[in-house]
Amino acid sequence: MKRNKFITILVLLIAGFVVVSCNTTTLEPQLTLANITKEIPSEGGSVALSFTCNDAWSVDTLGFGWLKLSQISGIAGDAAISVTITANSTATSRSKIIYVSSTNGQARRVIINQAPSIYPSYNTAPIAPDATGMGSTATQLIAKIKLGINFGNTLELKGVNADPTEANIKFIKQMGFNAVRIPCGWDYVGGAKDSPTSKIDPAYVAKVKQVVQWCVDNDLYVFVNIHWDGGWLESKKKMDGTTESNNYNPLSSRKDSVNAKQKALWQQIATSLRNFDEHLMFASANEPNAESAAEMKILLTYHKTFIDAVRSTGGRNTYRTLIVQGATDYISPDDFAAFNDPTPNRLAFEWHTYTPSSFTILSSDKVDGGWDDVRFYWGAGNHSTLEPNRNCTYGEETESLAGYNQIKTKFIDKGIPCIMGEYSCQRWNATSKFKPLELDKHNKSVDDWYTFNTKQCKAIGGAPFTWDTGGLFNRGTNVVNDQRTLDAIIAGSK
């Protein structure tokens, strides 16, 4: 009897153990926070971190002098941490990693990067977004441009050409152009380089603003940029004037200071020109010389700074079309997506055409220091038999067409509209430095080059802007200096 009772108790104990074992579950460790990186402006800001954890958690706060956390530990459940970042008053960027770890074995990291405060913020009066007169996407806006022209060597250089007048604007419109590119030198000419705070001379700002106003008043589309501008975006100079390193070099110490100047200038430019409607566009730079994927990565930070600075001023700048440049081998549509522009479909790409350069811009033969001999004859049917050494050997129709197709397939077909911001070709004559023996063929070559490039640009959906420094039009008298070139451009636009 006692033996049976013992067996019964043992069976009950085993059964109870089985029941308990079946009801026990093992929880998977949970911490829903993701590894992230946050970019914070120099003036400071905050980051909100919300997550769920199924065990106790904590944050390692070692060295958090410029970061303040609202909470550094917690129990299982939902959590919300506010991270406050103070203003960066140093001249260099800084970074900190926030480690969030749980006793369940899970851990995450949040990287906080902050730009330096080299110049004061000029975004002192941002306003609410204003979509009035800003209804076109970048693609729709650029499609409205028939022909564009540059006021080259003017507002971006000192004392080369007289300032544009409203009469100049009216004249170029009469000649068939409905868009203007205004190269600007805010630092070099506008006085910012002489200011420790990169403050642009208000008189220069007013001058550019007046030209933009004339363009808009006459229903011309217009865009302003930061042109060569003394080269501050491009390279650092030693005291003897030689180049130390370009500012796209990943090892350069200049990245922070270049981004700081880019931000300071564009905050001022964007604020001063904020009230213009979509007729006005902004371009970040001019022919930036990044020559590798690594250098392009640095240049993209300068473009990103430009975009963020303009958007931060608000108003119509929230919706303004913005233009960036870069070597087509190293910039891609993915880079445009990575800008994270808060306003979709308002970015465009700009490229320039001077191909082949030995025909379009070279003015010295190899014997005199040129990279090639100057070429006079371009295009099918225009080659010379009298001086074959002056015929183009590359960059004629077939190769040029391939270049346009690359622009189309790489950008335009993917929804990124394009502007050919500069293209031009020199024309020699019987009294110039070089005197082509077959002058008729040379002139025909130049005509065909202009017509071909204008036509191909428009054929892929681009907007062509011819480069002119006063050779095409006499700005003093508003007469045509080069009727053949004008006719060739007009012919290509039809």
> pTM, whole model, 2 decimals?
0.84
Q: Does residue 20 have a pLDDT over 50?
A: no
Read off the pLDDT band of 9 (50, 70, 90).
Answer: very low
Q: Which of 280, 303, 300 is nearest to 292 (CA)?
A: 300
| DSSP result, 346-389 | -EEEEEEE--SHHHHT--S-GGGT-SS----B-STT---SS-GG
The CA distances from residue 72 to 62, 186, 344, in Å, are 11, 46, 37
Least confident of 90-94, 291-295, 404-408: 90-94
Residue in the block written with tokens 């010389």:
289
Condensed to tens digits (0 to 9), the pLDDT of residues 418-435 reads 999 999 999 999 999 999
Q: Does residue 282 have a pLDDT over 50?
A: yes
The CA distance from 338 to 332, in Å, is 10
What is the Cα Rg of the chain in Å?
A: 31
Q: Does residue 22 have a pLDDT over 60?
A: no
Is 15 strand, coil or helix? Answer: helix
Condensed to tens digits (0 to 9), the pLDDT of residues 296-326 reads 999 999 999 999 999 999 999 999 999 999 9
Condensed to tens digits (0 to 9), the pLDDT of residues 371-393 reads 999 999 999 999 999 999 999 99
Give the residue-averaged pLDDT of 463-475. Answer: 97
The pLDDT value recorded for residue 244 is 60
Q: Can you list the alpha helix ranges (DSSP code H) found in 388-482?
A: 397-410, 439-459
